[in-house]
Amino acid sequence: MTAKSDGSILYLDGVTVSFDGFRALNSLSLILERGEMRAIIGPNGAGKTTMMDVITGKTRPDSGTVLFNGSIDLTKLDEAATAQLGIGRKFQKPTVFESQTVRDNLELALAGRRGVFASLFHRKTAGEKARIDEILEIVRMTDRQKTLAAYLSHGQKQWLEIGMLLAQEPEVLLVDEPAAGMTDAETEQTGILLREIARTKSVVVVEHDMGFVKGLGVKVTVLHEGSVLSEGSFDHVSADPRVIEVYLGR
Amino acid sequence: MEGAVRRPFLVSGRRPDPWPEPFGIMTNVRLSALRPARAVQLALALVAALCLSLLALASPALAQDEPDDAVLRALVQEFVAAEGNYRDTSAIVDRIAALGHPGGVPVLNTLGAGDLFFRNSDDLVFAGTERGNTLVMADPITGEALGEVAEREATAIRVNNAVRRSIRTALGSLTLLSDDRATRIAAAQTVFASRDANNLALLEQAIEAETDAGVLRVMEQARAAIVVNNADLAAEERIAAVDVLAARGDQAALNYLRLLLTTDDAGLAAAAERGVSRIETAQIFWGVGQNLWFGISLGSVLLLAAVGLAITFGVMGVINMAHGEMVMIGAYTVFVVQDVIRASGNAALLEWSLPIAIPLAFLVTAGIGMGIERGVIRWLYGRPLETLLATFGISLALQQAARSIFGSSNVLVGSPSWMSGSFSIGQLNFNYNRVYILLFAIMVFVALILVLRRTALGLQMRAVTQNRRMASAMGIHTPRVDMFTFGLGSGIAGLAGVALSQIDNVSANLGQAYIVDSFMVVVLGGVGNLWGTFVGAFGLGVTNKFLEPYIGQGDAVIAKIIVLVAIIVFIQWRPRGLFALKGRAIES
Amino acid sequence: MIGSFVLRGLDWRSGLVIVGLLVIGIGVPLSVGSPNSPFYLSTNDTLLYGKYLCYGLLALSIGLIWGYGGILSLGHGAFFALGGYAMGMYLMRAIGTRGVYGNPILPDFMVFLNWGELPWFWNGFDQFWFAAIMIVLVPGALAFLFGWFAFRSRVTGVYLSIITQALTYALYLLFLRNETAVGGNNGFTDFKDILGAPIGAPLTRGWLFGASAIALAIGYWICRSVIFSKYGKVIVAVRDAESRTRFLGYRVDRYKVFLFTLSACMAGVAGALYVPQVGIINPGELSPLKSIEAVVWVAVGGRGTLVGPMLGGVLVNAFKTYFTGGASQPYWVVAILPALALLFLVVTYRSALGWVKVLAGAGIGAAIAAFGLVLADTWAFPPTTMRFFGGILSAESWGWTVAVVAIIAWLVTSRNKYIAGAIFGALLCRLLIDPERTLALAPNWPYFLGALFIAVTLLLPRGIVGTITHGWNAWRARKASIDAQEGKDADLTDPEPAKIELEDAPKEPAAETKSPPPAAALPQASS
């Protein structure tokens, strides 16, 4: 496609979404390079969640371009298709399958064929078992693998969901408020985990916790009223007077 | 529901049509002319009478002295002497016509039918009806019963064709030239229907004398009906008559014109064809109008039945399968009110039974609704599928309760006299009960909008709908709001029941007939939006009625199936209805 | 691959169910005519239990989609009836020349309605194999088409339920017409034989029973296999968090369509086996009530399990037969129900004060009822003037009057412990006060069915089997509902509530009230 989209894993240009006259996204443009980790911050209603909805195909933009891998038009695809392409998403409110065990949750997320009949006649392979064990190890839930997800604490659910993201083996991870409801120690662990992941994947992190964002030490994009207000290093944006105005001025 | 038989109140002692009826064809016109507002009608009648009397003075042809009963009676008595002499009989007929007494009409009709007799013993002239070997006697002028006489004791006054002709002319002049406008119109219509060429001369005479434009038009049409049929007349004249008929535009005119399509005269046939197509176009137009009205009428019923559901389903998110039973209870309330009134012997109050039943039905159903909310639904909040099942159980029990109390057959619910009858505009026919129900539905809808927008309850309801936790945090007692919301929805269903009792059979199954349609309306309109319900109801009603004539022979069932399937497909296109709210809040 | 799929669902418990069904499915027909056999059933009982087994299969098909897929279909009667009609068409053609009109091709009703020739869709139904294919294919195709439309556009929850009801209603209207050529209002009846065997003969009945039992066993086995595959895990995931499943890359609509179609095929088979046993099929089977009734069987048995719906289908119908079957019951038999309800209330209010209140209420209610009875029996109401109100107060409707008065009082006072006690106390008193009276149960069945709907949703949300395996949760579910209605939420007590953006405040009622975490019976947990 265009030169700008070359080499990018996610390319958003002029994306506009409105709900009944309210503009959730206003000509938003954003480029995520392959292997890049990006933090996105912004006040309530800045359009962070809507942006993720657009990328994952949940919401169709009124106008604008959304490209994956520089060529695949994401606006034509639905959630399942984007997920199969390799875009993984973690929700703000941890959503795990509560009536299934931790292990089953990971099994469901595990990369593989998603068809009805494929799953009907699916047989667990040794490789899959090993992969699940590995992820359980990473998210430190090996001892809780038989527990129903409903019995997990809030933080544990967050970790399980990150584990599910890993199991999905996506190319891009969209992570919405991974540290919400976590203790300081857990938050720190989460940060370490994310940076670990970012070594091989592209990651977009939406977060409110400034300390957490600072700790990530990556390029930060500030959204405000549906478009990019400021972009750059954490120190750069936190010094930007417009950002200060938006965060403190109201 | 169109087919339901209405039962007027016989107890009220008012017959729907207290006027004697010389011409059957006039019934509709008269009913329609006299029903809407009695006072206005009376005033108009007075003015008309005044005009007519002035007219009578001005026009010598119509100027008559006050017709004298005694003179007429004397003339009628002369038939006895003339019996057997047709020429004399004709002469008497002509003199009766010249007298211009309206009482002459029944006499001549009786004579023409061969039913005029005189009693041999005293020469009493009477109108006789055979019953076995005896004749039932009636006064030929007033129709008053005079007793019976053996057939052989009476002689019939015989008529031949010449006399019949004089009778026809005489009747025409008595009616076509009558002082009474309505009589003249009726007479002209009769001529139109009979197309009797013998009436032509008289008709033209009447046209000469006529000054009332309305009457003149009908007479011209009658004349045209005769003229187009007369092959002896010039083609131009007949073509002009075709245009008059085409302008009339009803089914009868269409039939006359169709007969001309095969005529030898090319010009005439072409004119007739133009006329036919003109009428047919007009009829399509009127047909569309009539269908539209049927659709709107059905829509108003659907709106009434569905708007309560829109409140409970839309605003509260609660599926109330017992909604139909609230409608049923409302209808039974009307029955109970009428029953109590009848039992109390105060029959005049029956006319007021609906206004009395409306608040009662609202209170009763709202009370039961609140009871259901308190007793069952609140234990199931947030479990919509279970709520659906539990309310279905309530619906079963309520239906059975209605059967236990009122019996399993339909109960008789009467209509007040102001609800019965119909009027027409052009070729559109409107039943009063349908019109009132439409008005009632709109009133209820407007009232509901006002309640939601202008009252504290409405404000709280909207707050709870949008964010229950926030509303609760702000001190709104959410369970109480739910209870009243449910009561309001149920109460409106009760009001729908009052309206439905006037057009449908009242039985325990009444609600069942409407529940699926009501859900369809809400689904179609979009949950949580009253205007959606409004558009959904009328849209569904009109679609239904427009589909009916075009599928098979007006097959209502297929129309209904098509509508149901169409809704299922529509959901595919717009899963949340016509007026769905967009945005994230609604996504979950 | 297939082998592992089929064997996966088997464990000793499900094996027991399957073997048990197979044993009676073969034992009963073999024992026809030998009363000493342990599997002997009278012809009447064969018919009755065979019918229940068909209902069990229908309930199983509903339980599959409702319990595991979260799809509440209020239209499964349609698939049941379509299967039944397909079988009925075969049976009608099998009558041949033995009909009233003796027409070798046209069934009687077509001769009666002056049909010149057989409508196209009747072709082939003279062959059993063709009918057998249609029995599965027609309901399946309709379900596929409907599911494809509905699930692709993400119609879920109550919306879907209402739409399925509309579908059934449309079919009901269609089948009611004479022009549809499926017998109109009367449907099909007067069948003569099936596969050459006379349909009323005890042996045929025995084998039909056997076929029903075997079909139920196979259906159960298929359901187990499906649920225990990875597909089963996905579909439960869809039930619990549909959108999350989608973000994992699963095509939720296809998963649902598959389940819905499978379920419809099972319902079709149930209908097909039902028709030759009862000897009639008419549009009544398509009425919305029938479909919803079947849902209650599932609710009673326990959704989220597979044995539950089967059990529910059999139990509720056996209960119905007993109830509507015939003889009037003395009032004291009926009195067991309010007595149980009262006992239940006492047990559920776990504090001593609660017991006292309920019992005090019951005492007051009983006293009012007794007083009212005396009043109603001694005060003869003038028949004309106050007929209606007299009717309400007459001894016959006393239970109702008390209930209505009690509900109003309840509304006013909100003292529900007293009032709940009073209602049942009054009913109990009314029913016990003249034990000589009898009550014709048949016309009162709708009351009991209605009460069953309410009772099972309020008091036994997991059904019988679910309660046995997972414990009783009605109290917690009720509490959760009340909290949710009052706008209280567990999330409000979150340690860091400030972090929840208001605009993102979860509106999912499912999340708010999914109170008991282990509520959903996962197959693993139950076995």
What is the per-residue pLDDT for C438?
58
CB contact residues (below 8 A), chain B span 358-417, against chain C: 367, 370-371, 374-376, 378-390, 392-401, 403-405
Closest by CA to A162, choosing from A181, A184, A177, A146, is: A177
* DSSP H helical ranges for B138-228: 161-176, 181-194, 200-209, 213-228
Q: List strands edge to edge, sheet with A227-232.
A: A87-90, A172-176, A202-206, A37-41, A219-224, A227-232
Q: 3-state SS string over chain A?
A: CCCCCCCEEEEEEEEEEEECCEEEEEEEEEEEECCCEEEEECCCCCCHHHHHHHHCCCCCCCEEEEEECCCEEHHHCCHHHHHHHCEEEECCCCCCCCCCEHHHHHHHHCCCCCCHHHHHCCCCCHHHHHHHHHHHHHCCCHHHCCCEHHHCCHHHHHHHHHHHHHHHCCCEEEEECCCCCCCHHHHHHHHHHHHHHHCCCEEEEECCCHHHHHHHCCEEEEEECCEEEEEECHHHHHHCHHHHHHHHCC
**Percentage, residues of chain B above pLDDT 90:** 11
Q: Which residues of B touch C444 (CB under 8 A)?
A: 400
Of the listed ranges A135-139, B70-74, C236-240, C361-365, the least confidently predicted one is: C361-365
Is the pLDDT at C488 greater than 80? The verdict is no
pLDDT of residue A93: 80
CB contact under 8 A, C502 and A44: yes
**Spatial separation of the C-alpha atoms in residues B529 and B524, rounded to whole Å:** 11
pLDDT at B418: 84
Which of A1-15, B396-410, C134-148 is the least confident region? A1-15
More confident residue, B553 or B391: B391
pLDDT value at residue C423: 66
pLDDT of residue B553: 53
- pLDDT confidence of residue C332: 57
Is a pLDDT exceeding 60 seen at residue B26?
A: no
Chain A residues within an 8 Å CB radius of B584: 19, 24, 49-50, 53
Residue A209: per-residue pLDDT: 78
Q: Does C488 touch chain B (CB under 8 A)?
A: yes
Mean pLDDT of C230-258: 92
- pLDDT given at position B140: 84
Q: What pLDDT shows up at residue C428? A: 65
Q: What is the mean pLDDT of chain C?
A: 77
Question: Lowest-pLDDT range, A150-159, B131-140, B194-203, C117-126?
Answer: B194-203
pLDDT at A224: 87
Local confidence band at C371 (pLDDT 50, 70, 90 cut-offs): low
Positions of E strands within B353-421: none
β-partners of residue A12 are A30, A66
Looking at residue C185, the DSSP 8-state letter turns out to be: G
Phi then psi dihedrals of residue C388, to 5 deg = -65, -50
Whether residue B230 is predicted with pLDDT greater than 80 in this model: the reply is no
CA distance C262 to chain A (A): 13
Question: Mean per-residue pLDDT for A55-66?
Answer: 88
Q: Is the pLDDT of residue A51 over 80?
A: yes
Task: Compare all CA atoms of chain B with the CA of A23 and give the residue at the minimum distance.
Answer: B583
- Distance in angstroms (rounded) separating the CA atoms of residues A219 and A139: 25
ipTM of predicted assembly, 2 dp: 0.89
Residue B239 has pLDDT above 90, yes or no: no
pLDDT level of residue C516 (50, 70, 90 thresholds)? very low
Q: Which of A190-194, B432-436, C427-431, C470-474 has the lowest mean pLDDT?
A: C427-431
Q: Which of B101-115, C87-101, C103-117, C214-228 has the highest mean pLDDT?
A: C214-228
- Cβ separation of A150 and C503 shorter than 8 Å? no
**How confident is the model over A67-112, as pLDDT tens digits?**
988 888 888 888 889 998 889 988 878 788 888 889 999 999 988 8
For range B440-447, the mean pLDDT:
93
Residues C290-341: tens digit of each pLDDT: 898 999 899 888 888 888 899 999 888 888 887 776 555 555 555 666 666 6
Picking from C251, C495, C504, the nearest residue to A80 by CB comes out as: C251
Banded pLDDT at B196 (limits 50, 70, 90): confident
**pLDDT class of B498 with cuts at 50, 70, 90:** very high
A interface test, pick of C248, C250, C473 with most A CB neighbours within 10 Å: C248
The pLDDT score that the predictor gives to residue C519 is 35
CA B424, CA C423: separation in Å to the nearest integer?
56
Looking at residue A5, its pLDDT comes to 62
* Residue B367 scores a pLDDT above 60: yes
**Overall CATH class of domain B287-587:** mainly alpha
The pair phi, psi for residue A195, each rounded to 5°, is: -65, -35
- Residues of C within 8 A of A100 (CB-CB) are 233, 236-237, 240, 522
* pLDDT over 70 (residue C386): no
SS3 C470: helix
* pLDDT over 60 at B327, yes or no: yes
Q: What confidence category does residue B447 fall into, taking pLDDT thresholds of 50, 70 and 90?
A: very high
Average pLDDT over residues C349-374: 67
What is the per-residue pLDDT for B214?
82
Question: Cα distance from C201 to chain B (closest Cα, Å)?
Answer: 37
pLDDT higher than threshold 80 for residue B262: no
- Classify the C-alpha dihedral B489-B491-B494-B499 as positive or negative: negative
Check pLDDT > 70 for residue B346: yes
Check: CB of residue B265 under 8 Å from CB of residue B236.
Answer: no
Per-residue model confidence (pLDDT) at position C91: 93
CA angle B137/B141/B142 to nearest 5° reads 80
Least confident interval from B231-245, B529-543, C237-251:
B231-245
Task: Give residue limits of the domains in chain B.
Answer: 2-175, 287-587
Nearest C-alpha neighbor of C168 from the set C254, C274, C82: C82
Confirm if C260 and C143 have CB atoms less than 8 A apart. yes
From A42, A72, A92, select the one nearest A171 (Cα to Cα).
Answer: A72
Token pair 């691959």 is at which residue?
C1
User: Quick one: what percent of chain A has pLDDT higher than 70?
Assistant: 96
Name residue B431's beta-bridge partners.
B422
Average pLDDT over residues C104-124: 87
Does residue C515 have a pLDDT over 80?
no
What does the pLDDT average to over B313-328? 84
Instruction: State pLDDT tens for residues C404-450.
Output: 555 555 544 445 666 666 666 666 666 665 555 555 666 677 777 88
B219-228, C277-286, C476-485, C518-527: segment of lowest average pLDDT: C518-527
Cα distances from C305 to residues B373, B446, C70, C83, C468, in angstroms, run 30, 49, 13, 25, 11
Q: Please state, as a whole number, how many other Cβ atoms lie within 10 Å of the Cβ of residue B47.
A: 10
pLDDT bin (cut points 50, 70, 90) of residue B494 is very high
- Output the average pLDDT for chain A: 85
Q: How far is C510 from chain A (nearest CA, A)?
A: 11
CA atoms of C141 and B58, how far apart (whole Å): 83
Give the residue carrying structure tokens 């091709």.
C105
Highest mean pLDDT (candidates B94-98, B255-259, C230-234, C358-362): C230-234
Give the pLDDT mean for A194-210.
85
What do you get for the CA distance between the two ends of chain C, in Å? 23
Q: Across the B/C interface, how many CB contacts are shorter than 8 Å?
A: 209
Structure confidence at residue C417 (pLDDT): 63
Average pLDDT over residues B217-231: 81
Asked if C402 contacts C428 with a C-beta cutoff of 8 angstroms, the reply is: no
C245–chain B nearest CA distance, Å: 14
pLDDT in the model for residue C143 = 96
C507 to chain A, any CB pair closer than 8 A? The answer is: no
What is the structure's pLDDT at C372?
A: 61
CA geometry: angle at C85 spanning C80 and C88, to 5°? Answer: 125
Establish if B516 touches chain C: CB-CB under 8 angstroms. Answer: yes
Worst-scoring range by mean pLDDT, A17-26, B549-558, C383-392? C383-392
Nearest CA in chain B to C173: B557
More confident residue, C494 or A145: A145
Q: Which among B317, B382, B389 is the nearest to C481, CB-wise?
A: B382
Which of the four pLDDT bands, split at 50, 70 and 90, describes residue A41? confident
pLDDT for position B29: 34
Res. C504 pLDDT band, cuts 50 70 90: very low
Residue C437 confidence (pLDDT): 57
Q: Is C501 on the interface with A (CB under 8 A)?
A: yes
Q: Find the range with the poorest average confidence among B193-197, B434-438, C521-525.
A: C521-525
* Whole-number percent of chain B with pLDDT over 70: 84
- Residue B248: the pLDDT is 80
